[in-house]
A and B are shown apart, each in its own frame.
Chain A
Amino acid sequence: MGLEHALGDSAITTTIDSAINWCRKNSVWPMPLGISCCGIEMMAFAMPRFDVSRFGAEVFRFSPRQSDLLIVAGTTTYKMATVVRKIYDQMPDPKWVIAMGACTSSGGMYRTYSVVQGIDQFLPVDVYVGGCPPRPDNLLNALMMIQDKIQRGESRSTPMTVAAERIEKQQLLQIQGINN
């Protein structure tokens, strides 16, 4: 019947997934978590000079319930970790996480008892951004990497979508083909 007949069973699902992912990646709503100095660079990233709205992510939501990208921008202490996790848990699926800056990614220069040595100890992180603090360009780059991940249907937090699973299966088959 029509297009479905012409394309077979599988093509339609892939296309819809891809279309949804295309919509998603161009309307990412970040949840800003500017816990320290990285927050200032994150604000610059939202302002006209660097202009995150070029990537469709200008709608900073201060409610986790309306966001799909968590930007953890700053030193995360053990006391704050519970709060970060709570905010993350309140975000609806699918969701992505950027660990912005050295402190967030690895504890940075705070090698002490009070700072979590990398938020990946309690959160699944999609993209790490280096720098202390990173330049806004660097964060834009991270956003673009998140966009690529969204297009591929990948997220560390959410189980992979059907399309992504299929892509992975295809890649696996290719690799097996090469090996054989």
Chain B
Amino acid sequence: MITTVVEKLQEKFSDNILSVKEFRGETTVVVKSEEIVSICMFLRDHEECQFDYCSDICGADAYTPENRFEVIYNLYSISRNHRIRLKVFVDESNLHCPSVTSVWPGAEWPERETYDMIGVIFDGNNDMRRMYMPEDFEYYPLRKDFPMMGIPDSIPLPRK
């Protein structure tokens, strides 16, 4: 099951896997962001992996000086009925991360959402527009340094 998947991954991408964690039956693999596309491609196409469904992509802000942001990929295999979670670190100085839309076309919108909320830019995603916030909004609301009630007057209200 999922242990074989992790073994296959470690066999093929041993240099690019930073850590493997298991918690309450959920496996999380932290990988290098440069190799995320080939790792996803491998997970999708390998006979024993078959992660044919990218269930969600989201971002997190750890608010640390290094590796501040992480992008989290929750994958599911409909045919094999197993799940895996991939994590990629993105530094504040370089907010770019390769897009996995070439692996799963449906990843476009979750990547847009992550861009909207956290500010990670996905290279290769052809539709890097805001998702929820207005298009001219300048901030990223799910960052830890964003105030809960927002920046006053950043979104104009109609005149009364």
Contact = CB atoms under 8 A, between A and B. Distances in A.
B132 A114 contact: yes
Contacts of B149: 111-113
A85 B141 contact: no
A40 interface: no
Given A112-B149, A113-B146, A113-B147, A121 B157 contact: yes
B150 interface: yes
Interface residues of A, number: 15
Interface bracket on B = 10 to 19
A85 B157 CA distance: 9
Contacts of B151: 113
Contacts of B132: 79, 114
A112 B149 CA distance: 5
Interface in B117-160: 132-134, 141, 146-151, 155, 157-160
B160 A113 contact: no
B139 to A, nearest CB: 9
A78 B132 CA distance: 11
B160 A123 contact: yes
Given A111-B148, A112-B148, A79 B134 contact: yes
A116 interface: yes
Interface of B: 132-134, 141, 146-151, 155, 157-160
Given A81-B157, A113-B149, A122-B157, 19 more contacts: A78-B155, A78-B157, A79-B132, A81-B158, A85-B158, A86-B158, A111-B148, A111-B149, A112-B148, A112-B149, A112-B150, A113-B146, A113-B148, A113-B151, A114-B141, A114-B150, A122-B159, A122-B160, A124-B160
Interface of A: 78-79, 81-82, 85-86, 111-114, 116, 121-124
23 contacts: A78-B134, A78-B155, A79-B132, A79-B133, A85-B158, A86-B158, A111-B148, A112-B148, A112-B149, A112-B150, A113-B146, A113-B147, A113-B149, A113-B150, A113-B151, A114-B133, A114-B150, A116-B157, A121-B157, A122-B157, A122-B158, A122-B159, A124-B160
